[in-house]
Amino acid sequence: MGKNRRERREEEREGFAAKRTAQYRSRNLKAVGILSAIGVIVAFACFEFITSTNNVPGAPMNAGKLGDEHIHASMLVKIFGDKFDFSTPNYQVTTPWIHFENSDGDTVHRHSTGVELEFMFNSMKIAVDENCFIFPDGRQFCNNDDYTLKFYINDKRVADIASYVIQDNDRILISYGNEDQLAIEKQLAELNAQAINRL
């Protein structure tokens, strides 16, 4: 009789210990699952915080993430018939978002969605709007009775290019002077002959 009671108590203890162990294991597994889910959420939030443009100093408005695109376009600026040289160090990679690079003053590289040409010109300290093209040294080329500022995108004249977002293989001409249509066609032919550097 004493043996039976002892066996029953041991069985009850073993049953109680097994039940308690199962409860601890179940609680620990739930805790690990919850902590893992929280860890994934925190990691994703950190990634979004680090890569979002809103947290990058100097990011252009309405731009996507830096590096989400790599678009190339050719540009030619003619002032009184002379080509302006963007290949000098002052005009190379002035912002990572959109720029000239590798000592090439003909190819514009855009590295994010939504970045306008005005952002690139501002980064080079050049002001451009529908009336004027103003260099950092103060030289101004503005519309007047004798000379006009003209913009062409893919051979079509446009009123302004400041808010334009370049597309792959675009060809952009900015021309200031008193050129007739024949002179403009020669400038467009020169622009169309420029190679687009895809590096």
Asked if residue 81 and residue 47 are part of one domain, the reply reads no
Residue 79 lies in a domain: yes
HSE, CB side, 13 Å, CA atoms: give it for residue 39: 6
Is 180 within the bounds of a domain? yes
pLDDT of residue 3: 62
Q: What's the total number of domains in the chain?
A: 2
| DSSP state letter for 34 | H
Average pLDDT over the chain, rounded to an integer = 87
- In angstroms, the CA 102 to CA 104 distance is 5
- Is residue 18 in a domain? yes
Per-residue pLDDT, 117: 96
> Does residue 156 share a domain with residue 78?
yes
Same domain, 130 and 76: yes
Cβ contact 59:97 at 8 Å: yes
Give the model confidence (pLDDT) of 150-170 as tens digits.
Answer: 999 999 999 999 999 999 999
The pTM score is 0.72
pLDDT more than 70, % of the chain: 86
96 & 35 share domain: no
pLDDT digits (tens, 9 = 90+) for 33-89: 787 778 777 777 666 655 554 456 678 888 888 989 999 999 999 999 999 999 999
Same structural domain for residues 140 and 189?
Answer: yes
Alpha helices by DSSP H, listed for the chain, are 2-51, 117-123, 181-193
Domain that holds residue 182: 71-193
User: In this structure, is residue 198 part of a structural domain?
Assistant: no
The per-residue pLDDT for 152 is 98
The answer to whether position 58 is within a domain reads no
63 within some domain:
no
Same domain, 106 and 10: no
35 and 85 inside one domain = no
**Residue 56 counted as domain residue:** no
- List, for residues 143-154, the tens digit of each pLDDT value: 999 999 999 999
* 173 has pLDDT over 60: yes
CA of residue 151 relative to chain centroid, distance? 24
DSSP string, 90-130: GGBSSSSSEEB-TT-SSEEEE-STT--HHHHHHHTT-EE-S
Per-residue burial over 133-147, b if 16 or more Cβ lie within 10 Å, else e, is: bbeeeeeebeeeeee
Q: What are phi and psi of 71, to 5 degrees?
A: -110, 145
- Shared domain check, 25 and 85: no
pLDDT at 96 > cutoff 50: yes
Is the pLDDT at 6 greater than 80? The verdict is no
Same domain assignment for residues 136 and 189:
yes
